[in-house]
Amino acid sequence: MAATPALVELLGVTLTLGVTMDHVYYVRSNAYPNVFFMSGRLQGTPIGSDPKIATWVTNRSDGSAGFFTIDPNSVKYSGWGPASNTGFTYTMSDDGATLSASCAAG
């Protein structure tokens, strides 16, 4: 599902200076209760000429629980903490993660 502008703004609050994000989508995981994977397309001077897809995880689709990084691009270009801080090991192999990234990629 496409993220609302308010959700995109909240997710993007910690992006590296000069990085912008669009095409943000979230997918509810079937593997975990109340887990949503969110991915967006990153662009800007620090990224270079080829946009990159970044993915985060949250347990609230409205973003009120914060976000956690689960792939190298979300780690490199945002200030959200690692998913390991949740006590769970979320990865791009989890149900919903790859689908959200595919949606963001278009």
Alpha helices in 12-95 (DSSP H): 72-77
Residue 90 pLDDT: 92
Residue 46 has pLDDT above 90, yes or no: yes
State how far the Cα of 45 lies from the Cα of 37, in Å rounded to an integer. Answer: 26
| pLDDT score at 35 | 95
Asked if residue 27 lies in contact with residue 40, where contact means CB atoms within 8 angstroms, the answer is no
- The count of domains in the chain is 1
User: Which residues are CB-neighbours of 92 under 8 A, at least 6 positions away?
Assistant: 55, 70, 71, 98, 101
CA 3 to chain centroid: 11
Mean pLDDT of 20-25: 96
Domain that residue 94 falls in: 5-105
pLDDT at 43 over 90: yes
